Structure 1
Amino acid sequence: MRRIIWITAIMMCFTIIATACGAKNPESVIKELGKVQNKMESYQAKGTMKLNTSQQPLEYKVEVWYQKDHFYRIALTNEKKDITQIVLRNDDGVFVLTPRLNKVFRFQSDWPDNQGQVYLYQTLLSSILNDESRQFASDNDAYVFDVMANYQNASLARQKIWLNKENFAPSKVEVSDTNASVMVEVTFDEFKFDPKFDKNAFDTQANLNAGAAPAPAPSTTDDGKAANPDDPNKATGTDANGEKTDGSAGAGDNGAASDPNQSGDAGKEEPKAEDTMALPSTFQEMQPTYLGDGVAWKDTQEITFGGNTGVLQRYTGTYDYTILQTQPKDVAATYIPGELVDLGFTMGQLTGDDQQTLTWTYEGNEFRLTTSSDMPLEEMVAIAQSVDGEPTK
């Protein structure tokens, strides 16, 4: 009997020692994560992103390709609408592509180095490694880190990151606001280290052609310069027929859009009724569900902007702003001298100084929110994110 007890005690000691040796402390895990970050050559990730930032949660498929040193391809797909937007970074710059609209925005930017993305592995690793107050836990097959969130949206305060214990691949991310409410969730279904990509994987034209509906292919501008650098709110390019397009919409004293065929100050002249074409039968007006505190809808009018018919909604109160909605025709790559803005479900483009315009595409529509510079970017983003409900009748 004593022998059995003695053998059992020895076995328990070996079990405890083996368990202790197999467990990793936070310091060793952090050290290994640093090595992973330094040695990483490429990766491919697939997953689902859920946004709880509006009245109705939005869900998107996310696919990320990365190749050292600065090649990125991020595809955000709304499966219900079968619409994909692609963000590319290559040797030519940063591009936001909407293949279905045959539309390209080009930026001179150091994205994503200057702003993190919740679905990028580099962002997650940096968040863990740079937060000295990080909290560490072990959960079944994953290491869980609770760290500060460092995103463009200042309302996102903290995030939990689950990394696979075997290879440190991400499995899940939850980003919370200051009230500890989960606003963004990303679940990774697949993650591969060091995949080999095709030579055209990060090519702008190849990605545009691969996802576009049958239509004349656009031609990227050679010099990459804005046609009118003094007016950063004026988008310029060429349409599928090679004709130049231009226009601007603004919120001046009366918040109205300017005539896109004239070069006066934005908001000073109402579009003429005879110049406004009828809206297409497929057009459905969409309105934000969040207007901002102390802001009310003023009116809506049909206008023609850059050769496209649309509606201009005007809002007034604490902030005066307009939202222009159009269904643009195929256009060429347009250089935008602005900055990328992460809207969660898509990437927007912010241009202008005294008067700022946030441009984004959603469900085949292009939206331009224009206001004076006293409206915080967080408010502009919140309004843009709320344009996601059922179209108004």
Structure 2
Amino acid sequence: MSKNKGLFVAVLAVMMIVLAACGGKSQEDVVGKLEKKLESMNGYKVKADMLMNTGQEEQNFDIDVLHKKDAYYRVQLNNDQDEHGSQIILKNDDGVFVLTPELEKSFKFQSDWPENSSQPYLYQSLVNDILKDEEAEFHETEQHFTFKTKTNYQSNNNLPYQEIYFDKKTYTPVLVKVLDKDQKALVEVKFSKFEMDPEFSDKDFVLEENMETEDKDKDVATSADQELDTFTVMFPLFMAGSELMEKKEINLDDGKRVIMTFGGEKHFTLIEEKRKSMEASAAPKEVKGDIVNIGHSIGALADGVIEWTKDGVDFYLTSEELTKEELIEVAKSVQGKEVK
């Protein structure tokens, strides 16, 4: 009897080991694995597609990310609706920059980007958001480990949550959904490639190299001459309870400027400007503010002002009365044509 009992205990122990091996991973196991992978990797290359429904129109971006440990980043965003090439967020030993190479424009920020906000296409941002959220929800499916966490979008309180899907074999991100307060996905990032510990060129994170374009010898001024006649004034679809009070059109020696003044519940000014010639600046324009994604473009947000470039037009939105969130919402909505 004792022999049979011993055999039973041995069989039971083996079954428990097998069941444990076949069972799912715990949240602590997965988080530990993600954290270990983040600490051990020397960098990565990512290709992803980002769909944004945070503005009045849907925006699509092709994203290429290079990250070299610890503080080198290059994020290239190509908007399929902008004919003037891509924008690049660059971080190196000299600072943080937003570049528009085709238009020879660059901004330099005194910023702690990307640590100051959630970034749905950066691996370390996703992992850090999980680590910081003690109430993060964890689920396991046949192919993915998924987390639902709080976000940290300082410039957008309307995106408080995100769902992150990791591949169960590689522990690399597959999909990120950024959700509004009603749990609706307004941003989706689909990762098509994630290469760990790749080789980098010495030029990958150099400002001057990233300002070069394939059409280096292209006559940008001639192109701008041809396009100036098609300069369409864009109108904000969200006006924070205000209305257009005055519109001035000023012909410049090398272009055109439109100044729109809005009044009512809040006052703000929107300036749109397009020039025939674009002079390359030896140094980037310095901004005491933050990088902000306004859906259709990457902008520079400082106290009471947002500036950005789209389709070869420079936009300046300024107000002493709009909150930061309202400034961003108005800027996102500058996509409509004025109704006569």
TM range (shorter): 0.7 to 0.9
Instruction: Give the distance between the partners of 1:317 and 1:184, measured in 2 at CA.
Output: 32
Instruction: Give the distance between the partners of 2:252 and 2:75, measured in 1 at CA.
Output: 30
Q: What amino acid is aligned across from residue 69 of structure 2 in structure 1?
A: K
Query: SS in structure 2 opposite 1:388?
Result: strand
2:28 maps to 27
Instruction: Give the distance between the partners of 1:134 and 1:166, measured in 2 at CA.
Output: 21
Instruction: Give the distance between the partners of 1:14 and 1:388, measured in 2 at CA.
Output: 65
Q: What amino acid is aligned across from residue 363 of structure 1 in structure 2?
A: D
Q: What amino acid is aligned across from residue 157 of structure 1 in structure 2?
A: P
2:280 maps to 331
Q: Residues 121 and 311 (structure 1 numbering): CA distance in 2 closer, same or farther, change over 3 Å? A: same
Counterpart among 266, 278, 292 of residue 342 in structure 1: 292
Counterpart among 268, 290, 303 of residue 321 in structure 1: 268
Instruction: Give the distance between the partners of 2:337 and 2:167, measured in 1 at CA.
Output: 39
Q: Residues 201 and 108 (structure 1 numbering): CA distance in 2 closer, same or farther, change over 3 Å? A: same
Counterpart among 162, 165, 170 of residue 159 in structure 1: 162
Question: Which runs of 5 or more residues in structure 1 are unaligned?
Answer: 1-10, 218-238, 240-278
Does residue 177 of structure 2 align to residue 174 of structure 1? yes
Q: Residues 310 and 35 (structure 1 numbering): CA distance in 2 closer, same or farther, change over 3 Å? A: same
TM-score (norm 2): 0.86
Instruction: Give the distance between the partners of 1:18 and 1:116, measured in 2 at CA.
Output: 40
Instruction: Give the distance between the partners of 2:294 and 2:177, measured in 1 at CA.
Output: 13
Q: Residues 211 and 132 (structure 1 numbering): CA distance in 2 closer, same or farther, change over 3 Å? A: farther
Q: Residues 85 and 68 (structure 1 numbering): CA distance in 2 closer, same or farther, change over 3 Å? A: same
1:114-193 to 2 correspondences below 5 Å:
114-152=116-154, 153-193=156-196
Does residue 318 of structure 2 align to residue 367 of structure 1? no
Residue 308 of structure 1: CA displacement?
4.2
Does residue 79 of structure 2 align to residue 78 of structure 1? yes
The answer (yes or no) to whether the contact 1:97–1:104 under 8 Å persists in 2 is: yes
Residue 52 of structure 1: CA displacement?
0.9
Instruction: Give the distance between the partners of 1:371 and 1:46, measured in 2 at CA.
Output: 37
1:106-144 deviation line (CA, Å, top 9, x unaligned): 122221122221111111010111111010001221101
Residue 18 of structure 1: CA displacement?
3.8
The answer (yes or no) to whether the contact 1:143–1:164 under 8 Å persists in 2 is: yes
Residue 72 of structure 1: CA displacement?
0.5
Q: Residues 179 and 305 (structure 1 numbering): CA distance in 2 closer, same or farther, change over 3 Å? A: farther
Residue 69 of structure 1: CA displacement?
1.2
Higher relative contact order structure (alpha carbons within 8 Å, sequence separation ≥ 6) = 2
Query: SS in structure 2 opposite 1:156?
Result: coil
Residue 103 of structure 1: CA displacement?
0.7
> What is the identity percentage for the equivalent residue pairs of Structure 1 and Structure 2?
33
Residue 27 of structure 1: CA displacement?
1.1
The answer (yes or no) to whether the contact 1:74–1:87 under 8 Å persists in 2 is: yes
Corresponding residue pairs, total: 319
2:51 maps to 50
Counterpart among 292, 295, 304 of residue 242 in structure 2: 295
Residue 211 of structure 1: CA displacement?
5.2
The structure with the greater share of residues assigned to strand is 2
